Amino acid sequence: MKETNLNTIIQNSLRRESWAMKIPDGANGISVQLPFDGFATINGLPFYWEAKLQKKYEAFNFNKVEDHQWSNLLTIDRELIVNNYTLIILGIWESRKSFRVFFFDTKYLWDLKQSGVKSIKKKELEELVALGKFLDIKSEISYNNTRKQFIQDLKRLEEVIISGPA
């Protein structure tokens, strides 16, 4: 499992609800600096995301989000005059166990970072699981009889966004 796979899952899941676009990575080995991973609409609102993947429950270090990604997501959040979702999505994939996604409000994480907090600790992630502040990713058979993974219960997005302490 790679971060690009997680972004494909996010895009496909959002497309089932409305519309989504993962910003393509550079082709043929050409590296480009992307503002963030993708954008969409859901629940009638603009949705912008940066996704990070971890392969086990461990602290989520804020340095995994690059400076330009913080800047772009925070600018969108500040400049849009409509409500919107600007989220950092943390996927935790434990092979053969579980695959969960956590939706963090970018401004909340930025404020933590600015106050000197360096990460969301493993214990805090486990507390979020206990509180049900995540959505599962499960495999399903899609329309053309192929197996695809989707975020389950995306209609519950508003309930699971983490925008303050647990």
**pTM of the full predicted structure?**
0.92
Residues 142-147 have a mean pLDDT of 72
**pLDDT for residue 160:** 96
Q: Which of 110, 99, 96, 86 is nearest to 161 (CA)?
A: 86
Q: Examine the pLDDT at 26 and tell me if it is beyond 90.
A: no
Backbone angles phi, psi at 28, to 5 degrees: 55, 40
Domain that holds residue 118: 3-162
- What CATH code is carried by the domain that includes residue 155? 3.40.1350.10
**Count of domains forming the chain:** 1
**pLDDT for residue 111:** 97
State pLDDT tens for residues 85-116. 999 999 999 988 899 999 999 999 999 999 99
Query: What percentage of the chain carries pLDDT values higher than 90?
Result: 77
**pLDDT for residue 117:** 98
The pLDDT confidence band at residue 29, using thresholds 50, 70 and 90, is: low
Residues 150-154 have a mean pLDDT of 90
What type of residue is 3?
Answer: E
∠157-160-165 over CA atoms, to 5°? Answer: 145
**pLDDT for residue 70:** 98
